[in-house]
Amino acid sequence: MSIRTTFDKITSNNSESWSLALFWIVIFEILATMIEYSFVHQTPDIMMHIPDGIYSEIIIGLIVTVYIWLCMYNLVFWDKTSILYLILFGFIGVYLITTHDFVFDLFIKNINIFRLIQSDTGINLIIQLFFKIIIFYLIYQLIKSLRTTKTL
């Protein structure tokens, strides 16, 4: 098996599952945003900072509660969909704790591919370009799987 066929099987079930492709797009975008945040070492101007307090505790508490509930549900029923939700909630929780971006401003800003032109050069640009290429391919797989689903 080649790397491409293995990647297609894992990320979109060979262009048959649009929801799996969308899941991986979100996961790779969260990873790209967290890596960019770690390289920038400063809070971007667009992020609305919520100070540590009751609101941030409630948001993180709700995410941890849902995460623990999904863990227990997964132990009982062992469902593939709940495993994907578990992974997604885990990534979102790590993202929120790492960046303190509770309104996802940095995440939404990072989705724009044309922002790469304005960013600095160096290892961050190379990493972000790598993630954008993967996400672009996953969007292609998403469109391809939506077309096959529509024709069925």
> Does the residue 147 lie in any domain?
yes
Q: Look at residue 126 and tell me if it is in a domain.
A: yes
Residue-wise pLDDT for 64-109, tens only, equals 787 787 777 777 777 676 677 778 878 887 887 788 777 777 778 7
Shared-domain flag, residues 54 and 97: yes
- Tell whether 6 and 20 lie within a shared domain: yes
Residue 31, in any domain of the structure: yes
Overall number of domains in the chain: 2
pLDDT 10s digits, 15-39: 788 888 888 888 899 888 888 888 7
User: Using CA atoms in the order 59, 61, 62, 68, what is the torsion angle rounded to 10 degrees?
Assistant: 150
Residue 107 included in any domain: no
* Host domain of residue 61: 49-102
**For the whole model, what pTM was predicted?**
0.76
Q: Could you tell me if 67 and 96 lie in one domain?
A: yes
